[in-house]
Structure 1
Amino acid sequence: MKLPQTFETRMRELLGEEYGEYEKSLEEKHNSGIRLNTLKITPEEFEKIAPFGITRIPWIKNGYYYEQNEQPARHPYYFAGLYYIQEPSAMTPASLLPVTPGDKVLDLCAAPGGKSTELGARLCGKGVLVSNDISNSRAKALLKNIELFGIRNPIVVSEAPGKLVDYFTGYFDKILVDAPCSGEGMFRKSPAIMKNWEQYGVDYYNKLQKEIIVQAAKMLKPGGYLLYSTCTFSPEENEGTISYLLEQFPEFQVVNPLADSSVSYEGFSHGRPEWVKGREELKNCIRLWPHKIKGEGHFIALLRKGDSEDTPRQTGQPESYLGKAKLTKEAEEFLSELVIPFKEENLMVKEDRLYLLPEGLPSLKGLPSLKGLRLLRQGLLLGEMKKGRFEPSQALACALYKGDYKKTIDFPGDSPQAIKYLKCETVEGKSSFGDGYHLITADAYSLGWGKLTGTSIKNKYLPGWRWM
């Protein structure tokens, strides 16, 4: 691999005697991985049914390597949202942010959703997950992945981070900033990134990173945690950005994120404050080098926000919205058949679409909900109320787990029927519940909806998601 000369010279200076090992690692194949959706399946359960060869990733409890000749995206389990295809090192940031159910969590630069889907799974449907990406097209891919994973409490936004500060100052318990960067850690996996590096360099991204991390800091509660990550080696973009944050917000401190003794962090390296003439606490930062682990390059810093006299606080009360939503008879009948807990006051109707909203959204400036933001999704879309019928959504189907809906038609996971269904073709099936809407599953994992008439199932799978 021909590296840019400026990059090679600097890496030789940073790595010293290790540079030869790093250079050799660039000639090796990159590692491919999947991360399980723990909302739907446990590692122990998946290992019994895995349709391709897998090996555990030592530092990710629900992460696995798979061989490059495998195609995990060509199996119904992928369409059932059982796993997310993700580079192993990229799984690390979300695994190290200490999220617990009930937290209010922000993924600030979230597309295409690798980190948001893990954060949402760890929330277990409780609290709020706000996933944002400034690019509207990328945010649409983010929304699909969040819905595919069956996350019930999302807010998907496409805004510049600075605009979110007006709505969420001092609101979040946990924030993840996977910042745009020069991508040096991905040269092996995607050599084309080198052209981007030569065009923009480090300084361009470092300016962006400083702006974004300051905006994120303003949205974090005192006592909350902010995790900053990049996929680059550059000290300016890594320890340098964290040093800048500490100067702007003295109440922050860098903490060691490697507290989980049930996994192996062998091969991880600590931060290098001497590279930026920074504070000693920068040693608590983490670097992943491709010559030390089976993964690409990454940098991670976990920070805790203390109190300060001028710390702004989010003072709005949880949103009451517009009172009880007006539902059609058909919508009420359908909801009565769902075995999932929800409060009626968290239902919202907008243009005949019915949503289940997360609890605890901010009510600021007298605005109902989050008016003024470019929202792609506010809560879980349950379906659409039409004249004489209720059509449940693809998002709801994905968010139903075993036992949440009785009217189910199940196909074997590797069956031709499951694949035909995912290709939006008509399939045959039987049910003891008679005609009408049924949840179509593969090995009891939800795929989507079908409308049964006799033994013929009219396919209601979302066409834009179909198996090609």
Structure 2
Amino acid sequence: MNFDNEFLNRIKIILGDEYDDFISSLSNEKITSLRINSLKRNTDGNKDARTVLSDDGTRFTTDIKWEPYGYIYTEGYPGKHPLHEAGAYYIQEPSAMSPVHYLAPAPGEKILDLCAAPGGKSTQIASYMKGEGILVSNEIDKKRAQILSLNMERCAVANALVTNMEPGKLSEIFEGYFDKILVDAPCSGEGMFRKNDEAIENWSTENVSLCSKRQTDILKDAVKMLAPGGRLVYSTCTFAPEEDEYQAAKLLSMGLKPVKVDLFEDMVSGDIENLKKVLLNCENLIEDKEFVDNLPQYISDDIKICSGRLWPHKVKGEGHFFAVFEKEGEITKGTKLYGINGRIREAGKAELKLFSEFADGFLSDKGKKLKGTPFMMGDQLYLAPEGMPGIGGITVMRPGLHLGTVKNNRFEPSHSLALTLSKEDVNYSYELVDDADNDDKEKNSRKAMEFIGGMSFRIPDLTKGWYLMTAYGYSLGWAKYAGGVLKNHYPKGLRIYT
């Protein structure tokens, strides 16, 4: 690895005697880990996802202390397993799971993930919410917002509004609305150097400065959207104090209050002295250096109690920073719709009749108990979660749960609906794994991967209609049975050919 000398100089100033340990850690193998998706249900009595992966060669070594469903592994290829496409887990770096722990999401809350792509932290937040409340997951870049939307679908998140908005535009609509906000800000990516060569190549002091200015602007909008009594967690995957402690100081200057955090073993507190050391000994990257010079002494103590740094030579993970704040006031709970954009208008009788006919034929009594308001966007039927705000004036990628398509006087269920359901929610299902105890691991998942690749199956004597296709008991997609064939309805754009 070839690092910019200025970067090395800055790190040496911050770490002192620990510098050599840090540099050595960057030559170590990157940490691989995943988070089991608690939203994804296996009701078939089969093995859970972690057990299936273990049987298929993934070697789990360590639990992640700050995420009860997080596990480090050293062998195997869970990203190529059919359960990955089923949304049974999300491959996520350990340190990146820490900010959501301190956000402490809960069912029924209104939560914003402001810089959400590709979706690791949003799907993690959703798992804590257990399908109750409103999650707005926003991403300013359209292509990344599309990836975010697909990951929310894969992980069976039904109570989310995925948006593609500039923070400033979003704050005009949602002023004082959210109980909790996560700002995992775009940054210089120093904490990802061990796993991302491109981040090393793109590093410069100018980029650190640019990121710092952008982060301050984003945080101003985030504070505007935070409800009185609400909690805001700011995080980055960088070590640069201009992007870490400086932004924490900015949030304190905006009137937020520090929240004392209990750090896990080997985490260390943030420290405003990191910033002062860099400004004193390196190129001045902050235009308002006067702001730093005039910080009151108590700011230093506030930052220490509310923030944490994760260094790769200390924790089993990459570099990360987080800081936790609250706004003065008291949270007012309530699920009523946000009025500025009006209410979601329910779908018409004709569309609902077609969906009801599908539900009566293919969903069980349990599966019919979907909560929310059905509404149409073009020929697409969605289910808005209870309390979802109106979407007028918002660029929306995914407004709640996509139920399916209504056209030509018929209803076709969506891939999203399949991934949200479990075997007990439907009248007809088909298990693709022939023998989960077979010693031939490749044979176990072969049929499931063939389904993901678009293959249909000729099978005799099934009842005509829609089938929820499952792998190891986890829902994977739809097939429709007619004429002795289970016709594959796995979306063409998601198919993986092996």
Alignment TM-score, normalising by the size of structure 2 = 0.85
Give the direction of change, closer, same or farther, for the CA distance of 1:430–1:208 in structure 2 (3 Å limit).
farther
Q: 2:213 aligns with which of 185, 197, 207?
A: 207
**Equivalent residue, structure 2, for 1:395:** 416
**Of 312, 318, 341, which residue of structure 2 is paired with 1:296?**
318
**Aligned counterparts of 1:371 and 1:341: Cα–Cα separation in 2:** 28
Whether the aligned pair in 2 keeps the contact of 1:354 and 1:384 (CA below 8 Å) is yes
In 2 relative to 1, CA 335–257 (structure 1 residues): closer, same or farther, beyond 3 Å?
A: farther
1:327 to 332, 347, 350: 350
Residues 451 and 213 of structure 1, relative CA distance in 2, 3 Å threshold: same
Question: Corresponding residue for 1:351?
Answer: 378
Bigger shift: 318-327 or 434-443?
318-327
Aligned-residue identity in percent: 41
* 1:262 corresponds to: none
Give distance in 2, aligned partners of 1:34 and 1:315: 35
Secondary structure, counterpart of 1:174 in structure 2:
strand
User: Residue type matched to 1:353 in 2?
Assistant: Q
Residue among 256, 260, 263 paired with 1:256 = 260
Mapped to 2, the partners of 1:150 and 1:348 lie a distance apart of 19
Q: What is the 5 A alignment of 1:260-339?
A: 265-276=264-275, 278-284=299-305, 285-307=307-329, 316-317=338-339, 320-323=343-346, 325-328=348-351, 329-336=353-360, 337=363, 339=367
Q: Does 1:119 align with 2:122?
A: no
Structure 2: 5+ residue runs without aligned partners? 276-294, 331-335, 437-443
For residues 328-357 of structure 1, give each alpha carbon's deviation from its aligned partner in whole angstroms, at most 9, with x where no partner exists. 43321123425143357x110222211100
Structure 2 CA distance for partners of 1:158 and 1:316, relative to 1, 3 Å: closer
SS in 2 for 1:243: helix
**In 2, Cα distance between the equivalents of 1:150 and 1:373?**
23
Query: 2:346, 2:376 within 8 Å by CA — same for their partners in 1?
Result: no
Question: Once the 2 structures are TM-superposed, how far is the Cα of residue 205 of structure 1 from its aligned partner?
Answer: 0.4
Amino acid in structure 2 at the alignment position of 1:65:
I
Cα displacement (A) at 1:406: 2.2
Question: Are 2:370 and 1:342 aligned?
Answer: yes
Q: After superposition, what is the alpha-carbon deviation per residue over 1:284-310, rounded to whole angstroms, capped at 9, x for unaligned?
A: 2000000001111000111111139xx
Which sits farther off after the overlay, 53-62 or 134-143? 53-62
SS at match of 1:286: strand
Contact 1:409–1:431, Cα closer than 8 Å, also in 2: no
Q: 1:427 to 1:315 in 2, by over 3 A?
A: closer
**For structure 1, which runs of at least 5 residues remain unmatched after alignment?**
260-264, 309-313, 363-368
**How far is 1:266 from its partner?**
1.4
CA RMSD in angstroms, aligned pairs only: 2.2
1:182-237 C-alpha deviation (Å, 9 max, x unpaired)? 11111111122122212743211000000001100111111111110001111111
Higher mean Cα deviation, 382-391 or 128-137?
382-391
State how far apart, in whole Å, the 2-side matches of 1:431 and 1:382 are. 28
Offset of 1:46 from its aligned partner?
3.5
1:386 corresponds to: 407
Structure with the higher fraction of residues in helix conformation: 2
Q: How many residues align?
A: 446
Answer whether contact 1:398 1:448 (CA < 8 A) is retained: yes
Query: TM-score w.r.t. structure 1 length?
Result: 0.90
CA contact under 8 A between 1:96 and 1:258: conserved in structure 2? no
